[in-house]
Structure 1
Amino acid sequence: MYLSRLIPDTTAHAFRRDYADIHQMHRTIMSGFPELPEGSATREQHGVLWRLDHGNVGYTLYVQSRTQPNWDGFDQYLKRPADVRELSTTFDTLKSGRVLSFRLIANPTRRRKPEPGEKRRADTRYSLKDPEEQISWLVNRGTQNGFTIPTGADARPDLAPSPCPRLTGYQGNGRHNKVTVDPVRFDGHLVITDPSAFVEALCAGIGPAKSYGCGLVTLAPPHRSW
């Protein structure tokens, strides 16, 4: 696995276009990877996850992938050359019981129950807006993915959700298939309980909307400031 750290040039027309259309940003990121036959699940096969972090000055774009990326065509998009590092040595250090700080931008949702007499639709989901529901959502994902969220001095999960701006875009050539994502940023600590499941979750991402900037977990030593 590879992790790329890109610093976009916020004055570049291409970045401003992508920032306004989440689907276009997805397409731009995927252009850094080899094309696959039509009909292939390209993002999944290359294992691509990405996240755009807003810092004090500008943005940082993180891209994780199974395939080594090629950012040579991004000279006009970036302030400086991309930083790409291999993650195998990092994954080797992920042992059971280890405590880490983490950041995740996710799209916590829940499937809506149909009203009496209403036919269920496969895509009927709604975004979780309540912070307590968001915390419960991630705690539950942890039990499925090899980690737990420890409790702090107040006996509450050591986890802080914060809303991010809504992301929108349009699939296809027209402006009919609108994409809308309500992401939430989670900062906190986790404890690894099952290294194999945890690494699998890191590679696959957590939650829906993985094509649109959600699901990528980044790790750091405990209490490290972001």
Structure 2
Amino acid sequence: MTTLSRVPINPQLRQGRRLLTNPQAMHAAVLSCFPQDTHTDTSRVLWRIDQVEKAFTLYIVGPEIPDLRVITEQAGWPSRPGQSTDYVPFLDRLMAGQEWRFRLSANPVKSIPSMDGSRGKVVPHVTREQQVNWLVTRAAVHGFELLGDTGDDAKHHVTVTRSEDLRFRRGESTRPVSLRRAQFDGALRVTDAEQLRASLQQGIGRARAYGCGLLTLAPLRS
């Protein structure tokens, strides 16, 4: 079973502000919604924060139904409890040729090869053009193509609607973690339904524990 959940986050609460500004804290809070023996073979635990003006919504994809009270009681509103739905019926309806609106939060990076043959250095893509090209080159591997980048229906295109640099500490480590998170919005066409299902459940790219990798789809309207 795979579930899709949503939880409104209250930025007026201290814990709400902490979760919104600290990916490590949010990661821990999201994991605490699932039993420790949760199996992630089919679907891993992914999360993303969407912001519309001053409203913040946490989206979670996971392998079973989470106990969202863990987050709602500390960082949300009791009058607006989180909601979870079975994701499988939607995933099963995906077919090649379908067109969808999408949103993806990701960590677009590139690897710079080392001169001595050792492991290369991973650095973030900085400009929005670089970030869009990063997604364009990976779309096919994840079962879709971006509308507008193939010359079809040019009014639908992918844009980076948000880009931010995050810096936080992981656990008790004194060394801070730095990553760049970009939000992509656009339209896509399904090319490989099986692969797209896997991407929706397993995520795309790096830093998936820290609010990156979660792709969601919505009806494409004119």
TM-score by length of 1: 0.87
Please state how far the C-alpha of 1:170 moved relative to its aligned partner.
0.8
Q: Which residue of 1 aligns with 2:50?
A: 53
Q: Distance in 2 between matches of 1:24 and 1:17?
A: 7
Amino acid of the structure 2 residue aligned with 1:133:
Q
Q: Which residue of 1 aligns with 2:27?
A: 26
Judge which range, 129-138 or 81-90, deviates more: 129-138
Please state how far the C-alpha of 1:206 moved relative to its aligned partner.
0.6
CA 1:43/1:88 → structure 2, altered by over 3 Å: closer, same or farther? Answer: closer
Structure 2 matches for 1:87-126, cutoff 5 A? 87-114=87-114, 116=115, 118=116, 120-121=118-119, 124-126=121-123
CA RMSD of aligned residues (A): 2.2
Please state how far the C-alpha of 1:89 moved relative to its aligned partner.
1.4
**1:71 maps to 2:68:** yes
Structure 1, unmatched stretches of 5+, are 37-41
CA 1:55/1:190 → structure 2, altered by over 3 Å: closer, same or farther? Answer: same
CA deviation profile, 1:170-190 (whole Å, cap 9, x unmatched): 11224x131112111111000
Q: Are the counterparts in 2 of residues 7 and 60 from structure 1 also a CA contact under 8 Å?
A: yes
Judge which range, 145-154 or 131-140, deviates more: 145-154
Structure 2 matches for 1:116-195, cutoff 5 A? 116=115, 118=116, 120-121=118-119, 124-151=121-148, 158-174=157-173, 176-195=174-193
Q: Are the counterparts in 1 of residues 39 and 63 from structure 2 also a CA contact under 8 Å?
A: no
Please state how far the C-alpha of 1:156 moved relative to its aligned partner.
9.2
Amino acid of the structure 2 residue aligned with 1:49:
L
- Identical columns (%): 31
CA 1:161/1:43 → structure 2, altered by over 3 Å: closer, same or farther? Answer: farther
Equivalent pairs counted in the alignment come to: 215
Q: Are the counterparts in 1 of residues 147 and 153 from structure 2 also a CA contact under 8 Å?
A: no
Please state how far the C-alpha of 1:57 moved relative to its aligned partner.
2.3
Out of 206, 209, 216, the residue aligned to residue 208 of structure 1 is: 206
Q: Are the counterparts in 1 of residues 104 and 214 from structure 2 also a CA contact under 8 Å?
A: yes
Amino acid of the structure 2 residue aligned with 1:164:
S
Judge which range, 3-12 or 45-54, deviates more: 45-54
Structure 2, unmatched stretches of 5+, are none
Q: Are the counterparts in 2 of residues 20 and 168 from structure 1 also a CA contact under 8 Å?
A: no
Q: Are the counterparts in 1 of residues 48 and 59 from structure 2 also a CA contact under 8 Å?
A: yes
Q: Distance in 2 between matches of 1:133 and 1:17?
A: 30
Q: Distance in 1 between matches of 2:202 and 2:98?
A: 20
CA deviation profile, 1:181-204 (whole Å, cap 9, x unmatched): 211111100000111111011111
Please state how far the C-alpha of 1:113 moved relative to its aligned partner.
2.2
